[in-house]
Structure 1
Amino acid sequence: MSPASSAPAAPDPLTVVGIGADGWDGLPDASRQALCAAEVLIGGARQLALLPAECAGERVPWPSPLRPAVPGLLAAYAGRRICVLASGDPMFYGIGRTLSEVLAEQAECAPADAPGGPAATAAGHRLRILPHPSSVSYACARLGWPVEDTEVVTLVGRPAENLVRALYDGRRVLVLSAGAHTPAEVAALLRAHGFGPTRIRVLEQLGGARERTAEGVAADWDLPPGDALNVLALDCVRAPGTPHLSTVPGLPDAAYEHDGQLTKRHVRAATLAALAPAPGELLWDIGGGSGSIGVEWLRAHRSCRAVSVERDPVRAERIGRNARALGVPGLRVVTGSAPAALEGLPVPDAVFIGGGLTAPGLLDACWAALPAGGRLVANTVTLESEALLADRHRRHGGELVRLAVSHAVPVGGFTGWRQAMPVTQWSAVKPPSDAPSAVPSASPTPSSQENRQP
């Protein structure tokens, strides 16, 4: 027997079929054939109900929560032709992404002595995606909005505060709704953030026989809940007097709730420039204070991640409020003293130390945790901490700068300059020769906030 003939036959691919509100009638032949040939049909109850009797496979509704159930379902029906139903485009905020991630994880965990090894496992569990037009495509077609110029925010399984960072005067935003009550929730959020004049259109059952549109203005929204399957279209209008928030670092200090422990606007902008956030990267913000560095790191890109470490429980709660108010509710807040509180955190791409520099072992722990190419930025206003940064600059290189900001203030009948406390900043990139290591164990040491600007 030849080597080729002895290899196990690859199982049928896992097929994912996108379906819209128009149901079976809106499906192309390839999707219909896949559904009719399937031995197992997995999907939401609403989606499964759209299929005719000729789709004779066993119908399995998704349990809740969905993500943890996926590996078990795939294992339970292994060896059978499986077809998964998805709303619209499965790879646009859909089940297609979840399935691809789960199958990739299974491939990585496959034993090396399995037939063909992990690579064969990955190939044997390949996905076949048959997409349908997404709700975004339908909505933009109805509205006459170019898809590439339209911001899309999903609130399906996500906090409504995620919408805040997309609110800018004159912008068009599509909101993927979590259900019938989402329009009222979004209207309330728009009012709370100074966007009451925004026009809201609710597009229900897009592409189906029961398609309809309802509309109103956020400021006086009183429409009752409609169909649960809806998309919101927002023509954003900022109310007079609402603060303008930029897309770049350096938000006004007044945008934050704080007790004085705040990296001030101009120093904050310089600090974020040194940290250099990039899509998908993770920041540790040590001595979070009001959370401004972590918040603006997250606002740089929707895929950025951040952990803010703060020893004071009152301040830790305040960081969470600031994150939600500024549209980044995903900021993770860890209450505890560094470096002990750093144990178990995922490896960072960048670390900012804005408080507690004199805590024994903190600088060394942060540097050790960084991978090659990771960035560390530390700010201080005290001589004691400045000496520590000067020492690290001698040992690791990087850049040591002093940032001084002055503000014009009245001096009698004239105007003069009042200088804020100068901030010493050390920034460095870890070279390839230094490998990351686990955060050293340490006894909790009270970490002060002496490095935040008063």
Structure 2
Amino acid sequence: MSATGVPAEVVVVGIGAEGFASLSPSSQSLVLEAPVLWGGSRHLGLVPPVSGQERVPWPSPLSSGLPSLLASYAGRRVVALASGDPLVSGIATTLLDLGVSVRVVPAVSSVALARARMGWSSSSHSVVTVVGRSISTVLRECAPGRRVLVLSSDASTPAAVAELLTSAGWGSSSMTVLGDLGSPSESSVSGVASSWSESAPALNVIALEVAGSGLASWAPGLPDSAYENDGQLTKRDLRASALARLMPAPGQLLWDVGAGAGSVGIEWMRAHPTCRTIAIESNSERAARIARNASALGVPDLQVVEGRAPDALAGLPAPDAILIGGGATREGVLDICLAALKPGGRLVVHGVTLETETLLARAYADHGGALTRIGVETAEPIGTFSGWTPARAVTQWTWSLPTG
């Protein structure tokens, strides 16, 4: 959405669990003098009645209803209520992303309160929100000894997180659920994920101290066994080589064309929480498998497009990097991918057939880049001895678009 058809300004006032009385006098005045007040039903109920004030609860679901709400108040000034710091997984961020002029008056965030209760410095932990998102996002942050604050969606989140951790090999992790932070009814309960049975209030933050033997590495080239697959999998040594050349960077987008099991796109997203992937796969069973693998490895926001390139590439946002893991010889695929890259973009193409190798040799002659042949051999039993078993050699063409 562009900035047209939206309020002239939305002042977002953070309010803690302790309610209206905790606001500063200036924040109280902003709220009480607002002709229009937006917020969740709980937040609106914390404000004393004001004659003539229009109070509007957030639409449900928010994502689909918010554009209409914004358009209804186009050109006007509105005050909105939000929990704690509205820029910590809050409505202010959503409004800014929609092109709204936003002024934020924060309260103490639930993250700051949880950190204070646990005695954790700001540099000693990561923060993950599962508000409106899959809880499997937590898995990307898990490693032995790591601390994680999880911003819960509701009272059911702690039990769901405990089950997730246990199923992923992190069942011995310590969990502390901090409820209604900053309010008179504030609570704290602790336990271990594998035996978690505690109830929780609707407003809670989960403090995790991770322990166990789950998959923890952010380096490229996870074990092949980490992926559900039908054989269409970029093996770990080739995957590590491809990702080294694709060079994932914060905020960047990868097209994984002919994604198979989705391994390259998944590890691209595991490299940084803001990395994004669109996996293009024509086989419906594989497309569903990619989504399952992405969720199991902590990057459930990976987007799967079921379709065949080049037609399935039409209308996709321009990528910063592209892997063509299959289908490079299909007419138009390589040309469209070359044209789609942003300045400074990187392209990696893999081929195992003579036809694809011929195509890549021609592309190398026409465009330059780097052409590499990769062969991997692994030691396997031969009777009572061991010997080298070669995998099929792969030709890899790498090309980068200049930045200027």
TM-score by length of 2: 0.94
Look up the match of 1:25.
21
1:16 to 3, 12, 26: 12
Q: CA deviation at 1:414?
A: 4.0
Judged with a 3 Å threshold, the aligned counterparts in structure 2 of structure 1 residues 208 and 342 are, in CA distance, closer, same or farther, namely: same
Structure 2 counterparts to residues 187-336 of structure 1, below 5 A: 187-224=162-199, 226-238=200-212, 242-336=213-307
Give the Cα separation in 2 of the matches to 1:264 and 1:356: 17
Contact 1:37–1:55, Cα closer than 8 Å, also in 2: no
Equivalent residue, structure 1, for 2:344: 373
The letter for the 2-side match of 1:200 is M
Confirm or deny: 8 A CA contact 2:126 2:149 kept in the other structure: yes
Change in CA separation of 1:277 and 1:12 when aligned onto 2, cut-off 3 Å: closer
Deviations 1:283-327 (A, max 9, x none): 111111111011111111111111111122121111111111111
Measured in 2, the distance between the counterparts of 1:406 and 1:211 equals 59
- The 8 Å contact of residues 86 and 104 in structure 2, kept in 1 or not, is answered as yes
1:396 alignment partner in structure 2: 367
The answer to which of 57-66 and 389-398 deviates more is 57-66
1:173 aligns with 2:186: no
Deviation at 1:207, TM superposition (A): 0.2
What SS is found at the alignment partner of 2:80? strand
Which residue is equivalent to 2:53?
57
Deviation at 1:13, TM superposition (A): 4.3
CA distance in 1, matches of 2:403, 2:178: 52
CA gap 1:127/1:334 in 2 versus in 1, 3 angstroms? closer
State how far apart, in whole Å, the 2-side matches of 1:312 and 1:74 are.
40
Structure 1 residues 77 and 343: alpha-carbon distance in aligned structure 2, compared to 1, 3 A threshold: closer
Deviation of the 1:392 alpha carbon: 0.5
1:425 is displaced (CA, Å) by: 0.6
Alignment partners' CA distance in 2, 1:69 and 1:334:
25
Distance in 1, matches of 2:283 and 2:99, equals 41
Question: Is 2:324 the partner of 1:353?
Answer: yes
Give the deviation of 1:35 after TM superposition: 1.1
TM-score by length of 1: 0.84
> Where does the alignment leave 5 or more consecutive residues of structure 2 unmatched?
1-6
1:345-383 per-residue CA deviation (whole Å, 9 max, x = no partner) reads 222111111111221221112112223222110011222
Aligned pair 1:72/2:68, yes or no? yes
Per the TM alignment, residue 235 of structure 1 is displaced from its structure 2 partner at its CA by 1.0
Structure-2 change in CA distance of 1:394 and 1:228 (3 Å): same
Give the length in aligned residue pairs: 398
Q: CA deviation at 1:243?
A: 4.8
Identity %, equivalent residues: 52
Name the aligned partner's letter for residue 14 of structure 2: G
Which residue in the other structure is 2:3 paired with?
Answer: none
Q: How far is 1:137 from its partner?
A: 0.2
Deviation, 1:192, is: 0.6
Q: Distance in 2 between matches of 1:377 and 1:33?
A: 58
Letter in 2 for 1:390: A
**Aligned residues: CA RMSD:** 1.9
8 Å CA contact 1:39–1:80 kept in 2: the answer is no
Letter in 2 for 1:133: V
Using the TM superposition, give the Cα deviation of residue 47 of structure 1 relative to its aligned residue in structure 2, in angstroms: 0.6
Structure 1 residue 282: Cα displacement = 1.2
Between the aligned partners of 1:55 and 1:386, the Cα distance in structure 2 is 75
Query: Which deviates the most, 142-151 or 77-86?
Result: 77-86
Report the Cα offset of residue 148 of structure 1.
Answer: 2.3
What's 1:114 paired with?
none
Structure 2 residue matching 1:358: 3-state secondary structure: coil
Shift of 1:396: 1.0
Rg (Cα) greater in structure: 1
- CA shift, 1:56, in A, is 6.4
Task: Indicate conservation of the 8 Å contact 2:170/2:214, yes or no.
Answer: no
Question: In structure 2, what is the Cα distance between the partners aligned to 1:319 and 1:431?
Answer: 31
Q: CA deviation at 1:57?
A: 2.6
